[in-house]
Amino acid sequence: MKHTAMLAAIAGVFAFAAASGAALEDGNGLLGRRAAWMQGRCGIMVHWLYPSYRDVDRWTDAFDVPAFLEDFEATGADWLVFTAGQCKGAYASPNATFERLCGDGHLPKRDLLLEIAKGVKALGKRFIVYSAVDFVKDGCDDHSMQKGLCWDESKPDRREFEKRWSSVLREWSLRLGDLCDGWWLDGCARYNYRAGVDWRTWLDACRAGNPRSAVAFNGGVNDPAEPWGPSDYFAGEISCLDAIEDVAGLMLPCENSVRHYLFPIDGYWGAYWPWPVSDWAKAANLRKVRPDLFDKEKMAALESVGEFPDPAYSAARLCAFAKTAAATDAGVTLNIGISPKGRLNPKSVELAAAVSRILAVPAVSRAADREARTSARFPEAFDRWTPAEAAEIGGVIGERIAATVTNNLMKHASSNAHLQTVRFEEFADPENTVTYFRVPDPEGFPSVDDELFAGGFD
């Protein structure tokens, strides 16, 4: 596994860059740089989804913003992802476009989203809005959202829906302005968009209020190998740590997108939602040691008395994972349980604070650290190409190299080994520093079993 990862690290990156380039080109040249502030850092997410259709004001009016911000600050997190709403027909902020399309009963009088954004920015932190962009379930007994937004499961074409729902997001974006640092768009997987996604429509809407907002499109769970669409950062949805720990340390920085992992650490996304038992969740090991998290009745009992479940992971395990992720310039977001009034699970707050402290420890600059690790892994026989030299031959080599993603690792393939005259490792950072290597004898390039790879991949 380590040998395969090393080969992937130094071969076929031209092809990967070309594949990433298939995503929508960013006219401002900022793709992958808008989210540079996530690299090696930690944020938190909450799924505050208590309001429902025709029952919105009661919940939003009771939300204690100062107490919530106090809990958020205690986590030490660098950013917050807050749900505008999801699949229950109710949202956390007024919106005239929304109401015109779908009628009343969906939106509160209080602008909770705006209040929280202002509070987060006052703390010097970043604010990200979560929004689903599918309505397989709309949470409305009259299906007023599916009708108003033209979501029709029987038709693959989503153009009218994209036009309408993006206009709703645009209104929120314009109101939030620079208070919004990013968006996390859920539900845009292939099975929901069988005729394709209109990336530009979503990007323009989300960046209407802040052109530097970082946008992530979620294409599915437990698929951390590459971003979906023109994402500034990986949506990175992971069901549980067992699904990612073995490969997180092998994931290279991505050329056009910041690698990012997002997973729940107490309830399954919602504070009291039981964890899934299906195989796709890869949570069999967790179920053996924490069966209570999978028990719907026990979770409901905790909710009835206002108590939170214990976290699913120890501080040692979470911190170890966060350090592994940070070593490859990835960001980590921990989803924490939240009460109806906005209080966070106190034990999970402590865990998040531990992770934040670990990642806040001053270290050697990332560029210098990469240089040291690269020099240690490659023999002196490798000569450096300058970026300009690499650019001259990139087109020729890029046409003949293909990369595929298998088991979350890039594996190299070529139609003509004799034309593989360049092998290099690419490290993306905010300054777009790139290191290229020339191979002395391309025809005799060592196999994965050769001594070149004996050191493995750290």
What are 412-445's pLDDT values in tens digits? 222 222 222 233 333 233 333 333 333 333 333 3
Q: Are 129 and 46 in contact (CB under 8 A)?
A: no
pLDDT for 360 equals 85
CA gap 363, 112 in Å, rounded = 38
pLDDT for 246 equals 76
Closest CA to 259 of 416, 435, 408: 408
Q: What is the pLDDT of residues 328-347, one digit of tens each?
A: 899 999 999 999 999 999 99
Q: What is the pLDDT of residues 213-251, one digit of tens each?
A: 999 999 999 987 788 999 999 999 999 999 998 787 778
How long a stretch of residues is the chain?
Answer: 458
CA gap 333, 236 in Å, rounded = 9
* pLDDT score of 44 more than 90: yes
Ramachandran assignment for 173, one of left (phi > 0), alpha (psi -120 to 50 degrees), beta (any other): alpha
Calculate mean pLDDT across residues 304-326. Answer: 96
pLDDT for 32 equals 61
Please list the residue range(s) of the chain that carry CATH number 3.20.20.80. Answer: 31-360
pLDDT for 116 equals 98
Decide: helix, strand or coil at residue 85. strand
Tokens of 32: 């992958």
Q: Are 119 and 80 in contact (CB under 8 A)?
A: no
pLDDT for 251 equals 81
- Residue 376's φ and ψ, nearest 5 degrees, are -70, -30
Computed over its alpha carbons, how large is the radius of gyration of the chain? 23
Percentage of the chain lying above the pLDDT 90 cut:
65
pLDDT for 277 equals 96
CA gap 348, 132 in Å, rounded = 25
Class of domain 31-360: alpha beta
Percentage of the chain lying above the pLDDT 70 cut:
72
Calculate mean pLDDT across residues 61-87. Answer: 97
Tokens of 65: 């913003």
- Helix or strand run (H / E) with residue 127: strand 126-132
| Residue 267 Cα to chain centre, angstroms | 19
Q: What is the pLDDT of residues 367-403, one digit of tens each?
A: 444 444 444 433 333 333 344 443 443 333 322 222 2
Calculate mean pLDDT across residues 314-332. Answer: 94
